[in-house]
Amino acid sequence: MKRIRVERWSSQLLAARPRASAGPTTTTCPRSNRPAAPQELCLSQRRNQSTFTQPSDPISEDQPFLESEPTAPASTFADPTENMARFPPLDPSSKTSAAYPSPLPSRSLKSAKLAALHARLSLSEKIPLQTLGRCLVDSTADTNRQFNNASLAFLGHTLINYHVSEYLMVRYPRLPMSIMYSAVAAFAGPDALHTVARQWGVEHAAVPGGEVDPGLLQFSTAKAPVVPTTFGSRRVEAEYLDKFNWRRGINSRVVFDDDFGNVVQSPQTTSSSADVEDSASRSAENNAALKPYGTPETRKIAETAHANAVRAVVGAVYAHCGREAVKDFVRAHVISRQLDLSKLFAFKMPTRELFTLCAREEFEKPVARLLSETGRRSRTPVFVVGIYSGNDKLGEGAGPNLDAARWKAAMNALKAWYLYSPGEEVRVPSDMLVEDAKPWEPAHIDIGEVI
């Protein structure tokens, strides 16, 4: 059997088939008289989208026919406002509400951002969108108390601080008062609530106004922020504390200062600071190109506005849903955040404070004992020291030398004493406000810090 060469095999397969030759009797017809091909028939019968049907009702002779305008080519630049998918039309009522400092309450029902925030927070249907929109209007944007969140923020400020304070007081009954102030500020302070607002997805408008979407937080950087404070006494020497660096004791901080242990400024001081911040904000606007993220003053104003918005939402939950709903809301969004209280301590003389604590509680005198060591004569030695009161081990610490290890052990012993907790499922005084509540068992409250 002979093999076929590859070039001959390929030439046979790729060779064009010869057409049948026309007979002598066939005649060529002209192109115009040639019958249409099936494809051409389909194309001629296809209906274009630009055609239109005749209307059913007759048109009078006086009425002219409507002619469709010629469509512009694709390369022609289109007006951005005509692209409805990318640039949706504005609300007609927003044009008339531009004269107001904040959006009208009726526009809250048409805001998609506000409805999304309402659903994101799992708020009750009892809370209307108008109230939620009012929570996002700061007092610096609208000075009218009937339309801003000043009253709701004051109510929410009181409720948040109350629930956080009772939780910390019962959960950690031996916390020093200074650490208590720091813990309350870490849970309910402006920094913490600003973070909560960011986690909620609250966005702010560049400039407040009546035409702004009600779902955006509105505040003005040209005015000083308004922080809700409780009613009570004020320090007479408040203006001279920072000037002369006077010392403030714990007792005076409890009586005169705010919930976080900070000095409550007088109205005169607030007005003067407002003028300073006003001038700073104006200079920030002039140097916006050099400082795109603003100045510390403008960041503080934005932080306070976000915190007031969170407080106003808590106040709205209490006003519309009641006491138990706001308690669950605060626990879910504020108290549930993790906080390492051991990092808030800063001891100056831990060995002396531990010795005083043992004397107050009638314990045996603390004694430091060397538990283990390694590399005493090396470059990086490590010593482990434990502090004992009799046979009870109070604390343990490691350090590069004996003194540092003893100090670390004393600090760990003090932290173990101050961070005592009866348990996670501890009852708070607000639990007794529920109907058919169990009898109250008195909680253990320590007498306070040692020094």
pLDDT of residue 83: 53
**Average pLDDT rounded to a whole number, residues 365-385:** 95
**Average pLDDT rounded to a whole number, residues 192-212:** 92
Residue 233 burial (CB count, 10 A): 9
Alpha helix (H) residue ranges in 217-295? 238-244, 250-256, 267-286
Judge whether residue 34 has pLDDT over 70: no
Q: Topology of 345-420 in CATH?
A: Double Stranded RNA Binding Domain (3.30.160)
Per residue in 263-275, pLDDT tens? 776 554 444 444 5
| pLDDT, the chain, mean | 79
Q: For residues 387 and 370, what is the distance between their CA atoms, to the nearest angstrom?
A: 9
The share of the chain scoring above pLDDT 90, in percent, equals 49
Per residue in 52-103, pLDDT tens? 445 555 444 454 444 444 444 444 444 554 555 555 555 555 555 667 888 8
Tell me, what amino acid is at 188?
A
pLDDT of residue 272: 44
Q: How far separated are the first and last CA of the chain, in Å rounded? A: 113
Q: Give the three-state DSSP class for 205.
A: coil
Per residue in 275-309, pLDDT tens? 545 554 554 454 444 344 578 888 889 999 999 99
pLDDT of residue 242: 73
Tell me, what amino acid is at 98?
A
**How confident is residue 8, by pLDDT bands cut at 50, 70 and 90?**
low
Rg of the chain taking only CA atoms, in angstroms: 39
Q: For residues 446 and 451, what is the distance between their CA atoms, to the nearest angstrom?
A: 14
Per residue in 316-345, pLDDT tens? 999 999 999 999 999 999 999 999 999 999
Domain positions in the chain are: 92-231+265-341, 345-420
pLDDT of residue 47: 47
**How confident is residue 239, by pLDDT bands cut at 50, 70 and 90?**
confident
Q: Which parts of 198-256 are beta strand (E)?
A: none
* CATH 1.10.1520.10 is held by the domain 92-231+265-341: yes
Chain mean position to CA 111: 20
pLDDT of residue 67: 44
pLDDT of residue 42: 47
Per residue in 217-229, pLDDT tens? 999 988 877 777 6
